[in-house]
Structure 1
Amino acid sequence: MAAALPTKAAQDTPPAETAGTTLTFVTITINNLPQRGIYAVLETPTGFLLENRSFDTLGLLEPAGTPTPFQRYSMLPLSSVPGLTYQYDSGQLHISITCTADCFPGQTLGSDWRYRPPDPTPLGFFMNYDLVAEVSSGSDYASGLLELAVFSGKGVGTTTFAGQDLTGSAKLVRLESSWTMDFPDKRRQLQLGDSITNAGGWGSPVRFAGARYGTDFTLQPGFITFPTPVIAGSAALPSTAEVFVNGIKRSSLAVDPGPFSIEHLPVITGAGDLKVVVKDLLGRETVLVQPFYATRNLLKKGLSAYSVSAGVLRENFGRQSNQYEEPFFTGTYRKGLGEKFTAGLQVEASTKRAGFGPYVDWQLPFGGLLSTAAAVSLKGGDVGTLFETDLSWSSETFGFYLSNQYASSKFTRLGAVDDLRPARLRSSANLGIDLQRRGSLAFNYTRVDERDRDDFELVGATYSVQLGKIGGLGINVSRRFGTFAETTAYFSFTTRLGQRTSGNAMVEKNGKDWAGTLRVNRNASWEGGFGFRAEARQDDTQSARAGATYNTPKGIVSLDVSHWKGTEAARLGMKGGIVMLGGSRHLSRPVDTSFALVKVDDFEGIGVLQDNRRITETNKKGEALVTGLRPYEENRIGINPLDLPLSAEVGDTLLKVVPRRRSGLILDFPASRMRAALVRVLDENGTPLPPGTTLHAADGGEDAPVGFRGQSYITGLSRARSFFAHIEGETCRIEVDALAATEGPVRQPDLICRKDTP
């Protein structure tokens, strides 16, 4: 019969080997769910004790306290587990445990991103070009951009040039030259040569030559840098938790019994509602609802970021190749001091000026973000100050941004023009409202109070709405005040004219002048093909233009003709890239991200897939260049096995690769032309080996089964192969010679499987 026992901790721990204690082996159920195995329990006058290792096996909290030794076991009282009751059936030798969620250890759930190191990077080179030639009434003009790059596992080196007026007094200007080394495991980057400083909280980004080292979170794209909401609950039975963000299902998680918390949730930034529906095995549902506010401007508690730059400031970028002045140093540091508070400090100094100041980001109790910055500068004997405050709040349907910056007349920072004092006050406000099906509405206001130039003040409003399948309507009205006071308005209507074709009609008013424009545009397919565009404008210029683009995996060509104020012109453009990798050269589109050279032996016309989408095919050498890979992320590159001939031998048809930034990989798919033989295998007496015998590969290759009449199909004969077989307790061996590539299996002479000599 079953005897119910009270739920309370044992008052006394029974000593080992005392009267009234019995060691028993039982089966166990928890909340009516059978548990695998047989468990040792100790029956005492005050209750049952369970072996301490069994608590973990059953998924229960292990009670605190010193285990009681009994024979070879260490026992702990069941009744010490909070929220646990049980019944013992002596006839069935079974304990039925009933548990609340407090019985089980807590668990943390969530889709935390795991870092994967990049694949080894070979030595390679690439070049990007962008050339433009224009012919017009009375003048010709040509220009171009050129980028040269070398990459390896040690980094990427690039240098860029701009060619101006190539048909006249040609001038070649060097733009940037740098060597960049990424350390993705540490989320750090080192750049030597030309670079741009980190603006920090109150500075300005400036070009320089020197060194820059600091944090780069983009080296681990899945790493979450900002605080995300955490929602907690409990389950008494195995359950499933479905996560909804603003009513949209984002993920589904398996939940073991016990308390749980869900972290690293896939939330959007701004204000929203998080709902988790927990459904157990019996179909019972528990709904957890929690509002949240998330912003990328904050850092997670304890997470820090910094950037340090030193060198010489660049002057006249784009006009002079090597003009550098004013040695400098700048550094920024930020750290998440709490889930809602991030603080930073910025310091900069040069031979002409210096400055320092803190900046903070604070998530307000009602949501929204308050950002403040203060800085002090020193130039000669002049001291300047700057104060800035920003306030923002956003949700799916509403958002605003307010900014106000004050600078004293003596304030300066790196990159500032020496003879121009900073604006006294810069203020701006933006407000956006999503009216759902009725469109969206936005208002903006900007005011700049200058000291050495005319003040600027602008107010505007924009309304846009989608008119079903007909198209979209946009209206903008703005008013500029001050010396150049003017009212501007435009009305725009855009509609789809096909899968990749759109049309647009726009009416504009600038002051007292009106203008009208009609446009038609068809985008060229990414896989390759033609696109076109045409525009006619009715105003005092009476202008019109038309053009076409041919987009291929090997480059992009465009041709445009135009008419403007009685002048006709034609422009031809070409841009693309040349990649040298793995001993071969390939033409491509401009190389902006990572890429890979796919090799499939010497098979031509084999489809290459990127994320299950066919993007190109192999050439006569069996090679294809795949561009547009995501750096430091997993990319799925595959080949279509149906494009291979039936005589081909192929291994993996899908590779998951992680390239470095602006670098290439060589992906060699294991495919080859058939080198196989159909042979008859005999023993030393000339008798075929019995069916079902296995020829075991002695060389690490594939085994070969033996069929009727001793027939066996042996593959992988690009090299000589060795096999052994076990027959009637003895071992025999055969050797198979290598074969040339064929369109099908070759029938070979009979082979003798010779016994091992003792």
Structure 2
Amino acid sequence: MSGLASRIAISAALAAVVPAPAWAQKIAWQTAPSQIPAGQRKITFAVPLVYGERVLGDVVVETSPYGGETRIERESLRLQLAQLLNEDGLRALDDVLGSAPFVTPARLAAAGFPVRFDDGRLELVVETLAGEYRPVSSLGGERYSPIPSELPTIEPAEFSAYMNINANLDYSDSDGADEPSFFAFGAARYRDVVLEFDGALTGQFGEDYRFYRRSVRAIYDDPESYRRYQAGDLRLNTIPVLRTPFIGGVAVEKRRRIFDPFIAVPLLSGREIFLDSRSDVEVIVNDDVVRSLQLEPGRYDFSNLPLETGSNDVRVVITDSAGRRQAIDLDYFFEPLDLAVGEDEYVLGAGFIARDIEFEPDYTGDPVATGYYRRALNERLILGGALEISEDVQVIAAETTFVPQVIPGVIDAQIATSFADGTGISVRAGYRVQGGNSLANRRQLSVTVDYESANYTTIGDIFPSDFDLLTVSGSYTQSLTERTYASAGVLYSKRGGNREDRKLAFVDVFHRLTDRMRLTGGLVFGEDEFTSKNFGVHLGLAWQFGDRSRLNADYRSRRETTRLTASRGSDNSVGSFGYDVGFSDTRGSTSVDGSVNYVGNRFDARATVISSGTGFGDLTSDQRARLQIGTSLAYADGSFGIGRPIFDSFAVLKPNNVLRDQEVISGRSLSNNEYTARSGPLGAAVQSDLSSYNVQSIQFDLQGADQVVAVGDGTARVEPRFRSGYKIVVGDSRFVSAVGTLSVGGSPAELWSGTITSVDDEGFKPMPFFTNSRGRFGIIGLSPGKTYSVTISREGREFEITVPEDNTGLLRLDEVDLPASED
């Protein structure tokens, strides 16, 4: 029996016996579908309402797993649709909603509100809305402030903790198998205080195989004021022109956006990344993978990557030794005006600096203070500034984001001056303008300037720069048709120290042959140290087939590179797998690579093999392999489980103690018999993909034994706090429903009421009792083997109901006859 089919509302069946009160209509129970008329088999649950690419919030729907029309609950639908409508739209919506508790999609569509229930993705989709119903919006896009949902959420555990353990094993022909590395990242939360830990047992970072402490920090969040207080190993994000160092100390941050300073690959500057462990790096240009690298720990400069297009179309994806993935967009110069008028954000920190950039911070004892502040003065201007102060280095910086009215577009600028052995300066500026209101005429122009002088130094630098660096780039993109667009750009980079200047100009055309196939062609002219050729062509083909499979082919004559890849992505359900297979050929280097990843219930696994050489005949001269396995240990208020790695928050789901033969399955969606976690001999099911400070739903069901149990509506709504855990007990021992007829002296007890209590069912809360005009009654929520007392309000009479130990869900009492009263 499917999880959806098993959660049938027994209150609908009881409605045939007695008029069910409102509290009974909200309780969903499991029972055999054959016991419920087809027209009454309904379930009620919450699904997200989606408009375009926006998720507005959750709406309650009522549907049947056995067919029939879906109905939408009126109040929750109005709450979420109100975000999209003006006053005329709200009046029209209220007219169609009326006063009935539910409305059908057909009725909504007829009134100009086409809302469709997608039973595959379990969401409500707003197809379109009439223009006269929409509010006036800025040409630059809507500012969206979500309306809090009125649907309740459950509270996280008072104490919860988890620890991710990722094993990494590398092998190469030349060195053989390395000693395995074990990376550990975890957090413990007690009420509102979090303690984080990050470390590794490895030999990657030196000659010794030992344990390294990456970071330990304590965090206290105040969501109401958007403030985070922390102490320990800190990496504080301020302005990108200020390199982000490790500080051992204390800090307070105020940001509306939720952040995580301990990302796997922190940005050190606009041109650099720092890898603290051996990592796989993919360079993706316009959705095509053009380069796959396996890099050792260290600093890497973006300008050294053989990129031929503008930064706005480039992404770098890094997978480190712990299996953590980080995507970096090189278009970091532009930010939207993401602060409301009058809103500010800041960072203040003080402590001691770690000079050596290693996996384990090495503090020098030199005191340091850092600060950052920015504020939206109006809808067109944000101003900010930052300071770094230590004994040897002081840096002052300023930034602005400005939308001028005399010309279209956005201007972004940063400037910093450092005072150390010498004075240095760093300047970044960018301009971007977008236009067009359809796929056929969209266009975008962007220009960026990046300059850093010799001697520019921040407190995180080990050695100051001894040369100037200037980079100027520009790009323009224009839609030619709805299926075709072109992009052209130029890049000039001048580096001091007698290094060759870099010059580049390109034109690319992108055309969608079908909805799943895209062709790319282009020309490039350049002068740089990577090749002696000045002119080249670029050809690419991307074909997506199936839901998760993709083929890519890319050829670049100037660099003499060819890249072919085939991939199938895994999803988040247990048993899913994916693969990547690639072939690369660059002058003097040819390689093939392949990887397979598997999603298990208690772990994730990924295996990668790379074989390379100087040509086809030498393809097997250098072979490397990597195996990565990740798992987690999770605990919340007495419940324990082993699951897949947790990256923020989690939930452990276990069956009720009386249901030990049952197994819990959970997921964000349980459609198509797929799930993301399952309980069993290794403990509770671990739902590991929850993100903090966002309302989400966890769906769950019971599988295993044939016992009939109550699971409610099978959904828990959560709004996790940072690094929080939830304990969810699935299944209720009170799954028995009793039906019968009450009579007095042989005559039906018409419309009698009373109270139901129990002396041997601990935790049972008194329930109302009532009969219909024929004396029929129904009671839900009783436990096998327990006795319940029914007290009649009218005359104080009582009778008892004893539920047999072996009852499987429905107890038929037939007629309960009380003696007539003696007048």
Normalising by structure 2, report the TM-score.
0.61
Aligned length in residues? 576
Alignment partner, residue 164 of structure 1: 202
CA separation of 1:126/1:484 partners in 2, compared to 1, >3 Å: closer, same or farther? same
In structure 2, distance between residues paired with 1:666 and 1:352: 50
Alignment partner, residue 244 of structure 2: 205
In structure 1, distance between residues paired with 2:448 and 2:464: 26
Find the partner of 1:140 among 177, 187, 195. Answer: 177
Q: Which amino acid aligns with 1:597?
A: V
Q: Which amino acid aligns with 2:649?
A: S
DSSP 3-state at the match of 1:671: coil
Does the 8 A contact of 1:298 with 1:340 survive in 2?
Answer: no
Alignment partner, residue 324 of structure 2: none
Alignment partner, residue 569 of structure 2: 523
C-alpha offsets along residues 418-438 of structure 1, whole Å, 9 cap, x if unaligned? 342362534332333333435
Q: Which amino acid aligns with 2:679?
A: N
1:711-730 → structure 2 map (5 Å cutoff): 712-718=777-783, 720-727=787-794, 730=795
- Most deviating of 628-637 and 662-671: 662-671
CA separation of 1:701/1:643 partners in 2, compared to 1, >3 Å: closer, same or farther? farther
Does the 8 A contact of 2:651 with 2:686 survive in 1?
Answer: yes
Alignment partner, residue 317 of structure 1: 357
In structure 1, distance between residues paired with 2:353 and 2:154: 34
Would you tell me which structure has more helix in proportion to its own residues?
2
Find the partner of 1:427 among 472, 484, 487. Answer: 472
Alignment partner, residue 733 of structure 1: 798
Find the partner of 2:692 among 620, 623, 631. Answer: 631
CA separation of 1:376/1:706 partners in 2, compared to 1, >3 Å: closer, same or farther? closer
Find the partner of 2:216 among 177, 190, 196. Answer: 177
Q: Which amino acid aligns with 1:370?
A: I
- Deviation of the 1:599 alpha carbon: 3.9
- Deviation of the 1:681 alpha carbon: 5.4
Alignment partner, residue 512 of structure 2: 466
DSSP 3-state at the match of 2:460: coil
1:238-249 → structure 2 map (5 Å cutoff): none
- Deviation of the 1:389 alpha carbon: 3.2
Q: Which amino acid aligns with 1:716?
A: G
Percent identical pairs in the alignment equals 17
In structure 1, distance between residues paired with 2:498 and 2:157: 53
1:545-564 → structure 2 map (5 Å cutoff): 545-564=593-612
DSSP 3-state at the match of 2:257: helix
Would you tell me which structure has more strand in proportion to its own residues?
1
Alignment partner, residue 125 of structure 2: none
Q: Which amino acid aligns with 1:322?
A: D
Alignment partner, residue 323 of structure 2: none
C-alpha offsets along residues 21-66 of structure 1, whole Å, 9 cap, x if unaligned? xxxxxxxxxxxxxxxxxxxxxxxxxxxxxxxxxxxxxx9xxxxxxx
CA separation of 1:606/1:118 partners in 2, compared to 1, >3 Å: closer, same or farther? closer
In structure 1, distance between residues paired with 2:217 and 2:722: 14
In structure 2, distance between residues paired with 1:211 and 1:441: 49
Find the partner of 1:615 among 675, 688, 701. Answer: 675
Alignment partner, residue 18 of structure 1: none
Does the 8 A contact of 2:639 with 2:654 survive in 1?
Answer: no
In structure 1, distance between residues paired with 2:530 and 2:780: 82
Alignment partner, residue 557 of structure 2: 509
Alignment partner, residue 527 of structure 2: 481
Q: Does 2:159 correspond to 1:123?
A: yes
- Deviation of the 1:734 alpha carbon: 3.8
Find the partner of 1:667 among 725, 728, 735. Answer: 728
1:262-273 → structure 2 map (5 Å cutoff): none
Does the 8 A contact of 1:674 with 1:741 survive in 2?
Answer: no
In structure 1, distance between residues paired with 2:420 and 2:598: 54
- Deviation of the 1:331 alpha carbon: 0.9
Does the 8 A contact of 2:664 with 2:685 survive in 1?
Answer: no
Q: Which amino acid aligns with 1:610?
A: R
1:176-325 → structure 2 map (5 Å cutoff): 176-200=215-239, 202-219=241-258, 296-297=336-337, 299-324=339-364
Q: Which amino acid aligns with 2:790?
A: F
Greater RCO, 1 or 2 (C-alpha within 8 Å, sep 6+): 2
Does the 8 A contact of 2:664 with 2:730 survive in 1?
Answer: no
DSSP 3-state at the match of 2:340: coil
CA separation of 1:474/1:191 partners in 2, compared to 1, >3 Å: closer, same or farther? farther
In structure 2, distance between residues paired with 1:359 and 1:110: 23
CA separation of 1:357/1:557 partners in 2, compared to 1, >3 Å: closer, same or farther? closer
Does the 8 A contact of 1:702 with 1:715 survive in 2?
Answer: no
- Deviation of the 1:313 alpha carbon: 2.0
- Most deviating of 192-201 and 400-409: 400-409
Does the 8 A contact of 1:636 with 1:656 survive in 2?
Answer: yes
Alignment partner, residue 399 of structure 1: 444
Does the 8 A contact of 2:454 with 2:466 survive in 1?
Answer: yes
Find the partner of 2:187 among 126, 149, 160. Answer: 149
In structure 2, distance between residues paired with 1:457 and 1:619: 58
In structure 1, distance between residues paired with 2:494 and 2:787: 84
In structure 2, distance between residues paired with 1:574 and 1:661: 25
C-alpha offsets along residues 114-149 of structure 1, whole Å, 9 cap, x if unaligned? 457983443122122222223343521233422132
Alignment partner, residue 411 of structure 2: 370
Find the partner of 1:742 among 797, 807, 815. Answer: 807
Q: Which amino acid aligns with 1:216?
A: R
In structure 1, distance between residues paired with 2:798 and 2:143: 55
Q: Which structure 2 segments of 5+ residues have no match?
A: 1-86, 88-134, 261-311, 313-333, 437-441, 614-620, 759-764
Does the 8 A contact of 2:470 with 2:494 survive in 1?
Answer: yes
Alignment partner, residue 749 of structure 2: 690
- Deviation of the 1:363 alpha carbon: 0.8
Does the 8 A contact of 2:665 with 2:679 survive in 1?
Answer: no
Q: Which amino acid aligns with 2:460?
A: G
Does the 8 A contact of 2:517 with 2:542 survive in 1?
Answer: yes
In structure 1, distance between residues paired with 2:734 and 2:757: 23
Q: Which amino acid aligns with 1:743?
A: T
Structure with higher Rg: it is 1
Q: Which amino acid aligns with 1:499?
A: D
DSSP 3-state at the match of 1:185: helix
Does the 8 A contact of 2:791 with 2:797 survive in 1?
Answer: yes
In structure 1, distance between residues paired with 2:705 and 2:749: 35
Alignment partner, residue 762 of structure 2: none
Alignment partner, residue 94 of structure 1: none
Q: Which amino acid aligns with 1:340?
A: R
Q: Does 2:639 correspond to 1:591?
A: no
C-alpha offsets along residues 324-361 of structure 1, whole Å, 9 cap, x if unaligned? 45321111111111221221122221111112243222
CA separation of 1:441/1:136 partners in 2, compared to 1, >3 Å: closer, same or farther? same
CA separation of 1:628/1:708 partners in 2, compared to 1, >3 Å: closer, same or farther? same
In structure 1, distance between residues paired with 2:550 and 2:210: 40
DSSP 3-state at the match of 2:551: strand
In structure 2, distance between residues paired with 1:533 and 1:408: 42
Q: Which amino acid aligns with 1:732?
A: R
In structure 2, distance between residues paired with 1:422 and 1:128: 43
In structure 2, distance between residues paired with 1:503 and 1:707: 66
DSSP 3-state at the match of 1:217: coil
Does the 8 A contact of 2:677 with 2:687 survive in 1?
Answer: no
In structure 2, distance between residues paired with 1:709 and 1:438: 69
Q: Does 2:485 correspond to 1:440?
A: yes
Alignment partner, residue 346 of structure 1: 386
Alignment partner, residue 717 of structure 2: 656
C-alpha offsets along residues 82-132 of structure 1, whole Å, 9 cap, x if unaligned? xxxxxxxxxxxxxxxxxxxxxxxx999997434579834431221222222
Alignment partner, residue 548 of structure 2: 500
DSSP 3-state at the match of 2:225: coil
In structure 2, distance between residues paired with 1:110 and 1:724: 58
Alignment partner, residue 502 of structure 2: 457
Does the 8 A contact of 2:356 with 2:462 survive in 1?
Answer: no
